[in-house]
Structure 1
Amino acid sequence: MNIQSKINVITKEIKKNSEIWLNNNFNFFDITKGSNVISDELQFKAFIELLFTVDMFYPDKIFSKNLMKKIYCLSEKVEKEVNFTEYFLTNSALVAGDEEMIIFFKNYLNRTYKERERFQKIVSSDFELLARKTPYRILDSAYSMTKAEINNNAEDIDLLYNLTVLSNENFNYLYLSDNSAYSVTHTIFYATDMGRKHPSYLNYPFIFRTLRKMIIFYSMQNNVDIMGECVLGMSYLTGNNNTFNEQDWNLILFALNCIRNRQSKSGFIHSPSDNKEEQLTKEELFFDNYHTTLVNLGVAYAMQR
């Protein structure tokens, strides 16, 4: 069996098992019901990241028809019962709620999210949406508002790139905090528009070398969350064409095996926290592992393109 055949087998297995787990635990994404184990903000974050995962691969539908239908229904329920705008007026971290709802409704439900006009008015009134954020979080919000077609006073993404960790080619990946590592991967996501663009200001050889090293480094720490985002970054840098050389395909096969080894029998992919399954409630288990599962389901899908 050649490398590509092995990759196809592994990615199908990862994606199938991840979807089974997400389907079986989908109720925990429902922010209209609240959570018994985490704050509203963290539950909102899980819902927002679900929509973000879908939007990353637009116009494709990354999930099965059944799971996509659940997401459509939940997003419309949230539109009726949850006002993200009210929340972010007191907590700017939740600005992504309106942003992702606007993008999702435009892309997948072919209509306008009801709070769009109000959100635009608040942004236009010079509300300090980007205050006290790190450069890559400013880039995050600027990217999302651009995709949501919201007029804003943020600098262009090309200019914001110069403020990020990745733009400094002297940084050492060995000494990155986890937050700085996410800065590296998310900067690639936004600069390339999830593989849809190929900006000339990126130093592609340097970034590829860095991602290769980070994949090995985070695999050794059993952190397939950051490792998976590094693999996604490599895919986006190729314009989603996955035109890798043999060495890179072998590295990706290695990464996929790491992901598969971290996948539980029930389908979730273990987060870096490595909490013991038997010591957590079903809800605690979900919030501990949903992000790593979403990321690597995305990796599996990207490698099947």
Structure 2
Amino acid sequence: MLLNMKTERLIEHTSRQTFKWILHNLKYFDIDRKGNISSDKKLKAFVELAYMLNMFYPYTSNQKDVEKISEFIHQCILRHDFLGEIMHDLDGLAGLAVLEEFELNYGSSQYHFELEKIVGHHVDSIVEKPPFREMDIKYSLEKANVTSTLPSYSVLLESTILGKEASFAYISPMETYSITHTLFYLTDMGRRTPPVEFDKQSSMKKLFSLIQFYVQKRDMDILAELIICINFLKCELNEFQTKYIAECINLISSMQKKDGRVPPVIYHPAKDREREFINCYHTTLVTLGVTQSFER
């Protein structure tokens, strides 16, 4: 996607500010930190941080920031009993695979034997999940070098919102979330052509209709994910589409606070830093993702 210099500089600035906020708030991602954040919320935040670093590995910019965040994640993995948590809640199987992928990216393995054992009992295909979540498990295991017992991507795709070719005019935020994540997995986060029969141009048109809707909703979380999908599909954009994406980047950047955080669509500012962290961390991570997707 050919963007003008002004938009490219805005993307770089937004990225730097986002990294700044993450580094400043790393302690709140610490799963062993004492405080008012519940254990499940701490686990979710930590796995999502690792997920985001996996998503754009290897990084071509902000290397020093990535190294600091990566070392923090690695030390948390060494210190915390994630395996014990997952064995008591097998719904978190994909999360354990995300952490294994992270460790593999940075030169080691922590959970391969255990993941192989879990999958050997077909737990990946027994746990009931929505279709796109099944694809999530299959993809996460694939990235962790573990062969899933789930069906092929082609079979899984047929049951998803994207695969059913449902009208994009009347879908919920969760269904939109299903579409974006299905595309994340099919493209290996922009690293491959989808391994299924797939009409990219048709999907692009539908994505743009959703982008226009979520611009009106001022939902930066879903808007950013949709733009990431546009970049991952690597389709040629016309002049109007390119200009519109530039306007979307300007909107996302305008929503970013001076300290780098990006509030969600339903936002009630909290004076307590922990609560404000919980309010904003996900949308801020996705904002980081959309800036990095222009480098993929």
Scaled to the shorter chain, the TM-score interval is over 0.9
1:275 to 1:120, Cα distance in 2 relative to 1, 3 A: same
Q: Which residue of 2 aligns with 1:96?
A: 94
Q: Partners in 1 of 2:238 and 2:35 — Cα distance?
A: 46
Aligned-pair distance for 1:102? 1.1
Q: Which residue of 2 aligns with 1:40?
A: 39
1:87 aligned residue (81, 85, 89): 85
Aligned residues: 294
Q: Which residue of 1 aligns with 2:56?
A: 57
1:299 to 1:128, Cα distance in 2 relative to 1, 3 A: closer
| Counterpart code for 1:249 | T
Deviations 1:215-264 (A, max 9, x none): 110111110100100000000001xxx74321221111111011012111
Q: Partners in 2 of 1:221 and 1:206 — Cα distance?
A: 23
- Structure 1 stretch displaced more, 76-85 or 22-31: 76-85
Q: Partners in 2 of 1:231 and 1:42 — Cα distance?
A: 26
Aligned-pair distance for 1:116? 2.1
Q: Partners in 2 of 1:21 and 1:78 — Cα distance?
A: 19
- Residues 135, 163 of structure 1: 8 Å contact kept: yes
Q: Partners in 1 of 2:36 and 2:293 — Cα distance?
A: 34
Aligned-pair distance for 1:50? 1.0
Q: Partners in 2 of 1:129 and 1:280 — Cα distance?
A: 43
TM-score, structure 2 length as denominator? 0.93
1:34 to 1:155, Cα distance in 2 relative to 1, 3 A: farther
- Residues 21, 259 of structure 2: 8 Å contact kept: yes
Aligned-pair distance for 1:275? 1.6
Aligned-pair distance for 1:35? 4.2
The answer to whether structure 1 residue 194 and structure 2 residue 189 are counterparts is: yes
Q: Which residue of 2 aligns with 1:280?
A: 271
The answer to whether structure 1 residue 172 and structure 2 residue 167 are counterparts is: yes
What are structure 2's unaligned runs of at least 5 residues? none
Q: Which residue of 2 aligns with 1:289?
A: 280
- Residues 23, 69 of structure 2: 8 Å contact kept: no
The answer to whether structure 1 residue 15 and structure 2 residue 15 are counterparts is: yes
TM-score, structure 1 length as denominator? 0.90
1:209 to 1:35, Cα distance in 2 relative to 1, 3 A: farther
What are structure 1's unaligned runs of at least 5 residues? none
Q: Which runs of 4+ in 1 moved over 3 A?
A: none
Deviations 1:262-303 (A, max 9, x none): 111111111112222xx3311111111111111111211222
